[in-house]
Amino acid sequence: MHTLLRAILPTLIAAMLLAAAPLGAQSTLERTPNVTGGWIDLPWQLHITTPTRFDVAREGEGTAVLPSLTATLGLPASSLAGATFAPRSGVQPGAADEWEIFGRYLSFDQRHGLPFDITGQVGYNLAAGSLDTEIGVSRRLGPVRLLGAFRGMTEAYEEGAGYALAAGAVLNPLPRSLPVALTGDVATHLDRAEGEPVAWSAGVSIGVPYTAYTLSAFATNTRSATLQGRSRGSTSTFFGVELTIPIGLGRTLGTVVPRETAGEAVEAGATAPPAVRADIEVYAFVPPRIVISAGSTVEWTNRDEVVHTVSAEDGSWESGAIESGETWRATFSEPGIYPYYCGPHPYMKGVVIVR
């Protein structure tokens, strides 16, 4: 009974977090290589991340390359579905490749008066035959974002049910003027043997100007990007790179407001009192997902020291340059999904959902 409780407890906790309030897409500027803090992508946005680890070649040996690929798809009901593939990860003895399939939900966030963002994830690691769960916690304190995670696995490294803890931090040294972040984290599974190293990583991330990508260069002793891979350290140090690639599928799937309709439905620069006020700060739209009723007005304020824009993905409406400290309003008269981005920094994405 005790073993069964240990195995299912994280799953039960994660299931309690399904009453979700929405977060938005997360770039490498907001997380560390081993601790995401959890996030929910924008509706119908495909997000691809490619964390690849390289083991520095030793004399007489070749360089080990450990690639991972994660793809996630944001869903309308404040949820996300995803999968991670890690060939030759070595996390599970005897398993050549590692697959993890997962779903993620957001329960609480700071903008609703709570001190933390809290998310829950439930997944299945095919190589381990393990039901893996994670409770992610994060909090922004000025230029610093603190991250934490509690993980549970029913089959952890062929050792039966187990737990892991992780903590990390992201520092934006020039938070309002340059899209650069310094990251670091540590993690350990609670049954770690004496002398076994803790998991760790350290890196630097940048937002690539005038592209939709963010890029991270890091060092770590973990072997893959799955929950199990990010919870156990090794005696090797890997140097890695990670690229994030967001792809909006809303227009392809017919879930966003058509261009012609959006051009008529959005009254740019509206003077009506705003129903929702949003910030543009630390190179992100806050909140990135705005839900309003038809006829409501949204007001964006630029808190950074650089110019941003609020631009429809299909070009049907556009704020123009929003200088530091300035605001811009738009009224949305038709129900539907309106995705947008920042022209100079296309990795900054948001969406207005009109009910």
Per residue in 135-185, pLDDT tens? 999 888 888 999 999 999 999 887 789 999 999 999 999 988 899 999 999
The length of the chain in residues reads: 355
16 and 114 belong to one structural domain: yes
Please say whether the beta carbons of 336 and 275 come within 8 A.
no
Report how far residue 283's alpha carbon sits from residue 288's, in angstroms, rounded to the nearest whole number: 11
Total number of domains in the chain: 2
305 and 178 in a single domain? The answer is no
**Backbone angle region of 158, left / alpha / beta, with phi > 0 → left and psi within -120 to 50 → alpha:** left
**Lowest mean pLDDT, pick from 73-82, 127-136, 146-155, 186-195:** 73-82
CB 153 within 8 A of CB 162: yes
Same domain, 93 and 232: yes
Phi, psi angle pair for 277, to nearest 5°: -110, 130
pLDDT at res. 299: 96
268 and 310 both lie in a single domain: yes
Q: Tell me the residue range of the domain where 331 lies.
A: 256-354
* Amino acid identity at 263: G
Q: Which of 230, 248, 266 is the last residue of a domain?
A: 248
Under a CB-based contact definition with an 8 Å cutoff, are residues 295 and 317 in contact?
no
pLDDT at 23 over 80: no
Residue linked to tokens 């020039």: 174
Greatest mean pLDDT among 33-37, 63-67, 301-305: 301-305
b/e code 169-207 from CB counts within 10 Å (16+ = b): bbebeebbeebbbebbbbbbbeebeeeeeebbbebebbb
How many CA atoms does the CB half-sphere of 301 hold within 13 Å?
7
Q: How far is CA 63 from CA 16, 53, 91, 166, 267, in A?
A: 44, 10, 18, 28, 56
Residue 57 pLDDT exceeds 60: no
pLDDT band at 7 (very low <50, low <70, confident <90, very high): very low
Q: Is residue 201 very low, low, confident or very high in pLDDT (cuts 50, 70, 90)?
A: very high
Boundary-marking domain end, from 217, 248, 279: 248
CATH of residue 329: 2.60.40.420
Q: Which residue has the higher pLDDT, 105 or 163?
A: 163
- pLDDT tens, residue by residue, 275-298: 899 999 989 898 888 999 999 999
Question: What is the DSSP track for 279-315?
Answer: EE-SSSEESSEEEE-TTEEEEEEE-SSS-B--EETTS
CB atoms near residue 233 (< 10 Å): 23
Say what the pLDDT of residue 322 is.
97
Asked if residues 200 and 186 have their Cβ atoms less than 8 Å apart, the reply is yes
Residues 305 and 139: their CA atoms lie apart, in Å, by: 23
d(CA 99, CA 90): 12
268-301 burial, b if ≥16 CB within 10 A, otherwise e? eebeeebeeebbbbbbbbbbbbbebeeebbbbbb
Check which CATH number belongs to the domain holding 69 and give it.
2.40.160.40
pLDDT band at 21 (very low <50, low <70, confident <90, very high): very low
Percent of the chain with pLDDT over 90: 55
- What pLDDT is recorded for position 28? 87
- Are residues 307 and 239 located together in one domain of the fold? no
Question: What is residue 292's predicted lDDT score, i.e. its pLDDT?
Answer: 92
Same domain flag for 276 and 307: yes
**What 3-state class would DSSP assign to 256?**
coil
The pTM of the full predicted model, rounded to 2 decimals, is 0.82
Question: Is it the case that residue 17 has pLDDT exceeding 80?
Answer: no
Evaluate if residue 133 carries a pLDDT over 90.
Answer: yes
Question: For residue 10, is pLDDT > 60?
Answer: no
pLDDT at 346 over 70: yes
Say if residue 39's pLDDT is above 70.
yes
pLDDT of residue 338: 95
Could you tell me if 133 and 190 lie in one domain? yes
Residues 168, 47 within the same domain: yes
